[in-house]
């Protein structure tokens, strides 16, 4: 199931693919320009992750649901 946080919807590019919460409960990070986006940190509370595309430089913060 694709998961879009509010910020992702507002800032996504045409080559962006959202993170997915898989049926087994694991998570697949977002993709951009046909490749997985690099982990770029996150917030200290652990409720979000930052990702960066190494091809085009697009960045996104994913705010995970509780």
Q: With b meaning 16 or more CB within 10 Å and e meaning fewer, what string describes 28-39?
A: eebbbeeeebee
pTM: 0.72
State both tokens at 64: 């995970």
Question: What tens digit of pLDDT does each residue of 32-52 get?
Answer: 999 999 988 877 677 788 899
Rounded distance between C-alpha atoms, residue 66 and residue 56, angstroms: 30
Say if residues 47 and 63 touch (Cβ distance below 8 Å).
Answer: yes
CA distances from 48 to 19, 24, 45, 62 (A): 12, 20, 8, 5
For residue 37, the 8-state DSSP code is P
* Percent of the chain predicted with pLDDT > 90: 24
pLDDT at residue 24 in the model? 93
């Amino acid at each position: 199931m694709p998961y879009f946080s509010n910020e992702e919807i507002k800032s996504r590019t045409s080559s962006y693919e959202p993170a997915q919460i898989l049926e087994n409960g694991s998570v697949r990070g977002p993709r951009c320009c046909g490749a997985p986006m690099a982990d770029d940190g996150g917030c200290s509370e652990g409720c979000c992750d930052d990702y960066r595309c190494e091809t085009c430089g697009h960045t996104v913060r994913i705010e995970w649901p509780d």
